[in-house]
Amino acid sequence: MHDRQYTRTHIQAQFTIPVEESGARIDQVLARLMPDYSRARLTQWLTEGSITVNAQILKPKQRILGGESVVVDATLEPEVDWSGQAMPLDVVHADADLIVVNKPAGLVVHPGHGNPSGTLVNALLAEYPELEQIPRAGIVHRLDKDTSGLLAVARSLKAQAHLVKQLKDRSMSRHYVALVYGHPRKEGTIDAPMDRHRLQRTKMAVVTHGKPAITHYHVTHTTAHCAWVALKLESGRTHQIRVHMMHIGHPLVGDPVYRTGRPGLGSANEETRVLIESFPRQALHARSLGLIHPTTGALCEFDAPMPDDLQSLFEALANVDC
């Protein structure tokens, strides 16, 4: 039986290893008995002596007999050196383990080269300073700067491990809406592996021996020259939707990187052409997010309506004389 006490900065636990674990490696046993924490973190605690077994420091690969007494006395150190910055946040949900944010277009998620501050992470750290103890400040998946919509943030180590697992086993559902050039088939699945572009390393591309990438889509509305599509990701490769839709010949309206030409606009009148070509970002919005709550185990579903710019474009295209 586990006897645990948690604070935001300190973790204490004491338990006995089951005898059926006899012969297993201590790092593997701890990963099974303490699933709230990553294997890397548990290995670090073992190595530094924050986890002892029968009052001894074991090497991660050392095998155990079963029945040993484990004591955990670990301090959570800051995982990031980014600072908080007070900025508006559209928080859809927040509890002790999970934050869901509706990110506006134009906001970068992480600080980095060219964006040392003014990012979503800076805003999160100002509102939830405990996120400095979570790797990547709790961000477990990303949205491009100019993609709007829902983003899940882990507020605890337990939640981080749980959400990362959901991403890996594809139990986290992510649905998007996009406006694309031309008229794709009514529905389809794009199963096309992706990796870095061979020559342009800042871009992604469909490549034969890339990492698996699967996108499901179906057309929800059509205009004379474009289509609104709903998309669901099975994998989460960088720029996946943008690359996949370009791959089938229907790039996203407003995409400055992956759009090649403007398929379907050849016969458009001037008003329609201006509406579509003047849209200032890729027309992509993460509209819904479904996940298993890390603590309660309940299915949680969150929705974010289309932002004003996309909604205005939708209405304008529906009313324009084509």
Range list of β-strands (E), 127-181: 148-154, 173-181
Range 202-224 average pLDDT:
94
Q: What is the DSSP letter of 63?
A: B
**Confidence check: pLDDT of 255 > 80:** yes
Largest CA distance in the chain: 79
pLDDT, position 147: 97
Amino acid (one-letter) located at 7: T
Q: Who wins on pLDDT, 170 or 103?
A: 103
Q: Residue 12's closest CA among 51, 58, 64?
A: 51
Q: How far is CA 127 from the centre of its chain?
A: 20
Taking only the tens place, the pLDDT of each residue in 60-100 is: 999 999 999 999 998 877 778 899 999 999 999 999 999 99
Strand order in the sheet with 51-53: 3-6, 10-16, 69-75, 51-53
Q: Among all residues, which ones are annotated catalytic?
A: 144
Q: What is the per-residue pLDDT across 114-125, written as a single tens digit (0 to 9) for each? A: 788 999 999 999
| pTM assigned to the model | 0.81
- Residues 161-176: what's their mean pLDDT? 93
Distance CA 116, CA 229 (A): 34
